Chains A and B, each alone.
Chain A
Amino acid sequence: MSEVLVLVDAQNGAVKKPTYELLTIAKRLGTPSAVFIGAAGEAAGVAEAVKKYGAEKVYVIDDAQIKGYLVAPKAEALAQLAQQVSGAGKDLAAILLPSSAENKEVAGRLAIKLESGLITDAVDVEGDGTTTQSVFAGNYTVKAKVTKGTPIITVKPNSAAPEESAGAGEVETIAVSISDAAKTAQIVATQPRAATGRPELTEAAIVVSGGRGTGGDFTAVEALADVLGAAVGASRAAVDSGWKPHSFQVGQTGKTVSPQLYVANGISGAIQHRAGMQTSKTIVAVNKDEEAPIFELVDFGVVGDLHTVLPALTEEITKRKG
């Protein structure tokens, strides 16, 4: 069977869930190989983690020459790996990347280097390479397929349930040479974002969001999120008001989320917000304004003041959980 490269998403050596989702999808297309671009010292731990999800091979690319620069070196490294794999007489079925802003840019450059078709933000990939995307603010579903070269597909979080299966996890260190031309956009400083202790917005099974209706007080939203084990999100209005940083924004110009449950509080539901949450499995809203367009989307809605409804709901849930 031909190989499928899966770019590992890891932070400080800890593999993130979307990697396992991609490995699960890769098994439909061929033999999964994980690609870890990172510190050599973290490779063994990453290999142990990904082989539980079926990675037969783990290609390790040391990031000493990569991490200090934006996008271009990563694309070069992946292109060289792809050429090495396919040059070894093996077939390369696809290259899968977790859909982040940076990975989409990496994929874009990679597509041109490899003269291969690109599909971004897939929410599903079938065994024959047919992808499903959600477009036009979630109002349309598109099925597409790459027709040239090695399909390069970026896949959104929560697109598959990770399935454990033992892989050989054979580690192979890959030497790449990064051109000077790729090292022209230098990362001068990095400020890691403070950990919230909550799940990541795009990966969470439940998202509890607040908007203008919070009046800037997210206490009730956060308390509900914590009792549900949820991530906290915000509407653009809340972000523009400076109540939450941009990294919390759900919507067209923020994150697109597709959790099992989305709870919108004090959010009117403008098209830009809908674009970021419309594909959630179950949608619930609390809003004072019964005319708010968000109520057109909900499975269950409460017309009321979130500052009284949410604390009562949090208390009720705590009580029921015993």
Chain B
Amino acid sequence: MNIVVLVKYVPDATADRRFEADNTVDRVDVDGLLSELDEYAVEQALQIKEKRAEEEIEVTALTVGPEKAADAVRKALQMGADKGVHVIDDAIAGSDAIATSLVLAKAIEKLGAEKPVDLVVGGLASTDAGLSVVPAMLAERLGLPQVTLASVVETQGNQVRIKRDTDVATEVVGGTMPLVLSVTDQSGEARYPSFKGIMAAKKKPLETWSLADLGVDASQVGLAASWSVVEETAARPPRTAGEIVKDEDGSGAKALADFLASKKFI
């Protein structure tokens, strides 16, 4: 079986995230890392491989991004993925989800030409843009079933079954591989790379592909090809410091009630 895990390099949420002058996310000058929510996707891919130990299963970590994005792939390799693919091309900078999904789809097709891809696994969302649409877009582009936002994943033979929590219900969804799967942070704690894993990762293959390798024309991607445009980005003004009272003599509740009344909530 051939599993491809989508990993994204994102600016660290605890760092000072910002935009460039052209209103794209600053992905170069801000410290980045593998999107936390993609670690769950790597984890589920590895768990499937481990549960089906009698089969030959290869897990490939795939990313699209600037030079530093290779770190996201390396982290996945350290966790236990077998090989990595990094699609890098100056023309990709500023791509929206639609163009990114095109590049990913072409990369998956290229991987599939070597050996058919059975399962594409992604996370709940990136921790930067956070659209949560790339797995669905990939399924659309690849013509594959989408079994997405899983909190529990089970596979048997070529069948995949997941539990998915919607706003109003919990659903069990089933599909037949090949398919696109995405998992939430409820699917199970992601492992930390072991020392052995970190050492082993250094010897694992990490290929670098350009747009030309994928047969994608530069005019199809990047900021200029984006189907939407960001006109303005603005830092939200910091909230003005509010009043803090200490509930030392039991007066806290009354003070809070007075505040809520002044704002007409009661």
Contacts and interface: CB of A to CB of B under 8 A. Distances in A.
Interface of A: 11, 70-72, 75, 100-102, 104-109, 111-113, 115-121, 130, 134-149, 151, 181, 184-193, 200, 202, 206, 228, 246-247, 252-253, 260-261, 271-272, 275, 278-279, 282-284, 286, 290, 295-305, 308-310, 312-313, 315-317, 320-321
B101 A320 contact: no
A302 B245 contact: yes
A290 B169 contact: no
13 contacts: A70-B148, A71-B136, A72-B146, A105-B136, A109-B137, A112-B140, A121-B130, A185-B146, A191-B170, A246-B151, A299-B243, A300-B243, A312-B252
Contacts of B165: 246-247
Given A111-B227, A119-B228, A320-B261, A252 B127 contact: yes
Nearest to A137: B13
B257 A187 contact: no
Contacts of A189: 171-172
Given A143-B233, A261-B260, A309-B252, 14 more contacts: A71-B146, A101-B167, A106-B136, A108-B97, A108-B134, A151-B228, A187-B173, A246-B165, A252-B13, A271-B14, A282-B265, A284-B256, A313-B253, A317-B257
Interface string B136-176: 11011101111111010000000001001111111111111
B257 A112 contact: no
B230 interface: yes
Contacts of B186: 246
A192 B136 CA distance: 24
Contact of B236 (A111, A130, A141, A298): A141
B148 A105 contact: yes
Contacts of A130: 231
A282 B263 contact: yes
A147 B265 contact: no
A308 B249 CA distance: 11
Interface in B1-41: 13-14, 17-19, 23, 37
A109 B98 contact: no
Contacts of A145: 228-229, 231
Given A190-B169, A313-B257, A303 B148 contact: no
Contacts of A320: 257, 261, 266
A202 B168 CA distance: 12
Contact of B239 (A185, A297, A309, A310): A297
B78 interface: no
A125 to B, nearest CB: 13
Nearest to A98: B167
Interface size class of chain B, counting residues whose CB lies under 8 Å from the partner chain: 35 or more
A146 B247 contact: no
Nearest to B233: A142
B257 A71 contact: no
Q: Name B's interface SS.
A: mixed
Contacts of B257: 313, 316-317, 320
A104 B131 contact: yes
B67 interface: no
Interface in B211-266: 226-236, 239, 241-248, 250, 252-257, 259-261, 263, 265-266
Contact of A247 (B18, B167, B234): B167
Contact of A300 (B13, B128, B246, B259): B259
B132 A193 contact: no
B245 A321 contact: no
Contacts of A271: 13-14
Contacts of B149: 101
Contacts of A107: 133
Nearest to B148: A105
B242 A301 contact: yes
B246 A147 contact: no
Contacts of B232: 142-143
B169 A193 contact: yes
B179 interface: yes
B24 to A, nearest CB: 11
B25 to A, nearest CB: 9
Contacts of A11: 168
Given A246-B151, A317-B260, A192 B231 contact: no
Nearest to B16: A139
A253 B241 CA distance: 27
A295 B263 CA distance: 18
